[in-house]
Structure 1
Amino acid sequence: MGESYLIKGGSIVDGTGRPARRADIGIVNGTMVEPAAVSKDAVLVDATGLVVSPGFIDVHTHSDATTIRSQYAGKSNTGPLALAAVMQGATLEIAGNCGYSVFPGADTEKQVDALAEFTATLFGNGIPVCDDIEEYAQRQNDSGRFNNISSLVGHSSLRAAVMGFEQREATVLEIATMERLLSSALDGGAVGWSSGLIYPPGTYAGTDELIHLGKISARHGVPYVTHLRDEMQYVEEALEEALHIARQSGTSLHVSHHKTAGKFSHGRSVQTLATMDAARREGLDVTCDVYPYVAASTHLHAMLPPWSFEGGMGALLRRLHDPAARNRMRADIAGGIPSWENTVGNGGWDRIDVATAPGRTETQGISVAALAARAGQDAVDFVADLLISTGGHVTIISHSMEEADMQRVLAHPGTMVGSDGVPKDGKPHPRWAGTFARILGRYVRDLQVLELEEAVHRMTALPAQRFGLNERGILAPGNIADVTIFDPHTVSDQATFVDSLLPPTGIEHVFIAGRRALQHGVLTGTSAGTFVARSR
């Protein structure tokens, strides 16, 4: 149970979007109470000149295994990767995005291996796949988390567990198995399900398979969360596919990290946002999120055509040894393939930087084009050799978006905020350490893209409502005391692409369920985070 606190003199931005007001807030045993209900011996927190807000909810992370990895390896859980979220005021993260989750488990040894191989591409080797969401929740609760976590169910994980990395349509029986696994996880408290339709094996799925699963989420009253099949040249067609899935299944829809990336799509956010507005007028429940940067981050192997990954990472690495396969990859990148998001073809290897490459740290922070030139190689040959030498575990940063598009999405009504953080060693994208402070500093205070109250609403109450997290997201008596207190004049992100885990300035205090995790910008060592199931 938490101590009692009285937060006095702050400017209350309560998450509802209502104007800020001067008021005091009480916390008793992890719950917000009226100030008069706090005992005289409560700890006083002077918030004069500061903004008191609900704790921020990061609607899109890939931190599924960050603390579990530490626990599983018997290591300390106090490194900067594990602490970056709470340092910027994020009291709850939603994992399981882009089709990746570390549950549910598979039935056969072959499928278990396929699922473990799939999750390793994002989360690293040695992460235990959980049989179900209950085991996942227990592992999170045992891992000494500094903030809370909820999870979606990953469609690609479902597919890998049921049919491995086969590049074909699922059978009726396989879809039924995926439906059963999804329904069970939603019964266990998952906040929705996600797809990553540029990543194998999710990219191998047809629209009808996704409609079947959408009917399950519709029945449970949770959203379908999608990384669209294309965010570049064919982004409008990919958005139409997602809306078609929502129409045919009855599910609500949430578009992940909405962007119009690549040289052929700059400016097209005007059309995509108008399309979502039209769908809302039609009666569809459609939302999206965004991160406040113009560079993306993903796997290096996602820069290669989808056929190259059929059969999984082992099959890809074998193909990369084959000169004929390399030549085919080179040709497909140069010429494109229908329905494939060709990131390099939409930009170039000079816009792709290596972020994480185990055992090849000399490549980190440098573009593929520069690295290939340094090695005297063609870029595809360099990429193939780098993937082989690292077992395929390379993440990259893609400088592919325009500021005007990002700001347009951020300013659009209903857009939420997600870091899309990929907490891996090396030089990860600075969004993992800077997203929320960057919103408050650069886009609220400096550029005035959003009013403060509206920005806080999009980072608190709106995602809590979207993902069924009752008693969170609004400062009100009776709600769980997840609270972030920041200085609106100094809050600012400090993380850069060179030093990507620098903590922000201006985040003064963070409470997790009434226990203080951050005091005057310094971690207290309190690990009060838990797995949070969707409210019934």
Structure 2
Amino acid sequence: MQTQTYQLVIRNADLIDGSGTAPYRADIAISHQQIVAIAPALSLQADHMLDATGLVVAPGFIDVHTHDDREVIDAPTMLPKLTQGVTTVIAGNCGISLAPWLANQAPPAPLSLIGTQKDYRYASVQDYKKAVQRAQPAVNVGVLIGHSTLRVNAVKDLGRRANDDEIKVMQDLLAEGMHAGALGFSSGLFYQPSKAADNAEVIALAKVSAAAGGVYTSHIRDEYNGVLDALNEACDAGKEAQLPVILSHHKCAGPANWGRTSETLALLNERRKTQAIGLDAYPYTAGSTVLDPDYVDGLIRIMISFSLPHPEMQGRDLADIAKEWGLDQKEAARQLLPAGAVYFQMREDDVERVLSYPHTMIGSDGLPHDSHPHPRLWGAFPRVLGHYSREKKLFTLAEAVRRMTTLSADHFGLKRRGRIALNCWADLVVFDPETISDRATFASPKLAATGIHWVLVNGTVALANGTPTTNRSGRFLDRKTERYADQN
């Protein structure tokens, strides 16, 4: 009897399939970019063999919360993500997307976090999709369409709610983007360009995403004292528009709200009884966004991630800069603008409570264009696997993997990704469960993780022994083809 030979076999691995069930020893065969056989260990043959003895093979991780819109085009090797085992990024979060906007002005914060005026050059999501396909990034790219991006296209005065004509312009742009394959609509009501929008404006747009089978992701209006009202506002929008809601980087920010994740998660449990709700989180007690003097309270540590007028201050604490300049922290912050900052605004028990919640997906929320970024850009996924699973034992390794794979794929309608099963796309990561660890720190944030041996994207080895190969086989993930892909 002739033995079938495959293009590639990952041999003798401890297989974690993404479902949360316990690992088992197996071989995985790959041909034509897909998983074509899963068999007892040491039973399959291939032209190319990867010996995974003592290692885990898992579905490639899906980073559900990124701001990689421009990075996948300008730096398509995507090293910060590939070295973590991430094979798919979802861009366009927090109401900030690179498309659709042919910018006629400098982008206001926070749109400035992902590009300058020359970078906002895609009048449609279709144009952006073509640019991604030309760049051929090393990872798959799914996109959300940002509310703030839509507003700068259509709303003459960002300090007020959009009128009916302006809402119609935004709806048409959003409909085009959904037709081009976007996964959904995102908002960031916390930020200045969208702060004046009421929930009726959001719902009018979310309904366009709903009609196309998309999702609504929300950087809620207030993660501080008003967090419960803001969560209800986002959930109300999803319920009214009849589409799934995903709550971004869930947290309770500021010392006055530490410990309140018990309340917020109880609220989400209640809301989940009547509607589809998901959430994502990153495994750190600090967040990162634009520097805003209004959120400088003198209570929490704030580190500068970039400053255009004072680039020499990147990586330094605002308190130290203020002392050196003989100013209070608010005034020092004003002198640094435009700038970004890392805010140490959470408490560890809240972070662990959110990470432990069974419906929490993992997202890095990294900002790739910061000169001294938050370490989550390079370390979020290995930190969950190493620090929180192996060391702190918040959950099993198989459960940690589920939060990064099937849970994420299911929320975003990626039917043949995020799982190890026959006929699924071969997005895979092979790692050492004993050594996988984040190395990026707040002091040295651009350090690659350890313990990742191979990363495969659509069946092609993209990373080998921590080093990128010349193969870049990522795809733009079109919601229509991904959602309705036949697995049989």
TM-score range, shorter chain: over 0.9
What's the counterpart of residue 448 of structure 1? Answer: 393
Do 1:102 and 1:119's aligned partners in 2 also have CA atoms closer than 8 Å? no
Query: What's the CA shift string for 1:128-173, capped at 9, x where partnerless?
Result: 3311111111111222412111100000101111115520111111
Match of 2:37 in 1: 34
- Aligned-partner SS, 2:267: helix
Alpha-carbon separation, structure 2, partners of 1:445 and 1:166 = 47
Counterpart selection for 2:262 from 259, 263, 270: 270
TM-superposed deviation, 1:244: 1.7
Is 1:533 the counterpart of 2:472 in the alignment? no
In structure 2, the partner of 1:57 is 62
Does the C-alpha gap of structure 1 residues 512 and 501 become closer, same or farther in structure 2, counting only changes over 3 Å? Answer: same
Whether the 8 Å CA contact 1:25–1:34 is kept in 2: the answer is yes
- Which of 518, 521, 536 is residue 463 of structure 2 equivalent to? 518
Residue 378 of structure 1: aligned partner: 328
> 1:162-311 to 2 correspondence within 5 Å?
162-281=154-273, 283-300=274-291, 303-304=292-293
Q: Report what 1:95 is aligned to.
A: 91
Q: Which residue of 2 aligns with 1:157?
A: 149
1:470 pairs with 2:401: no
Q: What whole-Å deviation, never above 9, does each CA across 1:245-295 have from its counterpart, x for those lacking one? A: 1222222111000000101110110011010100111x1101100000000
Residues 195-221 of structure 1 deviation map (CA, whole Å, 9 limit, x = unaligned)? 111112111211111121222222222
Amino acid at match of 1:21: Y
What is the TM-score normalised by the length of structure 1? 0.85
Q: Could you tell me the percent identity over the aligned residues? A: 39
Matched, 1:487 2:432: yes
Partner of 1:457: 402
Counterpart code for 2:286: A
Residue 422 in structure 1 maps to residue 367 in structure 2: yes
Distance in 2 (CA, whole Å) between partners of 1:69 and 1:6 is: 32
Residue 400 and residue 243 in structure 1: after superposition, are their counterparts in 2 closer, same or farther (change >3 A)?
same
Paired with 1:352 and 1:164, the residues of 2 have a C-alpha distance of: 34
Alignment pair present for 1:123 and 2:114: yes
Q: Which residues of structure 2 form unaligned runs of 5+?
A: 1-5
Higher normalized strand content (fraction of residues): 2
Query: TM-score, normalization: structure 2?
Result: 0.93
SS where residue 517 of structure 1 aligns? Answer: strand
Task: Look up the equivalent residue of 1:122 and give its one-letter code.
Answer: L
**Residue correspondence of structure 1 range 312-391 to structure 2 within 5 A:** 333=294, 343-345=295-297, 348=298, 351-358=301-308, 360-387=310-337
Answer whether contact 1:222 1:251 (CA < 8 A) is retained: yes
Unaligned runs of 5+ in 1: 71-76, 107-111, 305-332, 334-342
Whether 2:22 is the aligned partner of 1:4: answer: no
Aligned positions of 1:426-437 closer than 5 A: 426-437=371-382
- The structure carrying a bigger helix percent of its residues is 1
Q: Is the 8 A contact 2:151 2:158 kept in 1?
A: no
Provide Cα deviations, 1:282-337, integer angstroms capped at 9, x if missing partner.
Answer: x110110000000000001xx24xxxxxxxxxxxxxxxxxxxxxxxxxxxx4xxxx
Q: Distance in 1 between matches of 2:390 and 2:38?
A: 30
For 1:324, the equivalent position in structure 2 comes to none
> Displacement, 1:350?
5.5
Structure 1 match to 2:79: 83
After superposition, what is the alpha-carbon deviation per residue over 1:478-517, rounded to whole angstroms, capped at 9, x for unaligned?
1111000110000000000111010111111100111101
1:509 paired residue among 454, 457, 479: 454
Greater alpha carbon shift after TM alignment, 163-172 vs 401-410: 163-172
Q: Secondary structure at the match of 1:42?
A: strand
User: What do residues 45-93 of structure 1 show as CA deviations (whole Å, max 9, x unaligned)?
Assistant: 11111111000000000111013235xxxxxx55xxx311000000000
Q: Which amino acid aligns with 2:204?
A: H
The Cα RMSD (Å) is 2.0
Contact residue 165 and residue 201 of structure 1 kept, 8 A: no
CA distance in 2, matches of 1:515, 1:457: 22
Say which SS state the counterpart of residue 364 (structure 2) adopts.
coil
Partner of 1:400: 345
* TM-superposed deviation, 1:224: 0.8
Amino acid at match of 1:252: P
Task: Tell me, yes or no, if the aligned pair for 1:297 and 1:429 is still in contact at 8 Å.
Answer: yes
Q: Report deviation, 1:525.
A: 2.7
Q: 1:105 to 1:355 in 2, by over 3 A?
A: closer
| SS of residue paired to 2:384 | helix
SS in 1 for 2:122: coil
Change (3 A) 1:174 1:480: same
Maintained 8 Å contact 1:214/1:245: yes
Which SS does the other structure have where 1:142 is aligned?
helix
Q: Residues 461-489 of structure 1, C-alpha deviation per residue, up to 9 Å, x if partnerless? A: 11111111121111111111100011000
Instruction: Please list the CA deviations of residues 102-130 of structure 1 after superposition, one character each: whole Å capped at 9, or x if unmatched.
Output: 11136xxxxx3247456751113231331
Q: Quick one: distance in 2 between partners of 1:105 and 1:115?
A: 12
CA distance in 2, matches of 1:277, 1:22: 36
Distance 1:67 1:223 in 2: 22
Query: Distance between the aligned counterparts of 2:464 and 2:156, measured in 1?
Result: 47
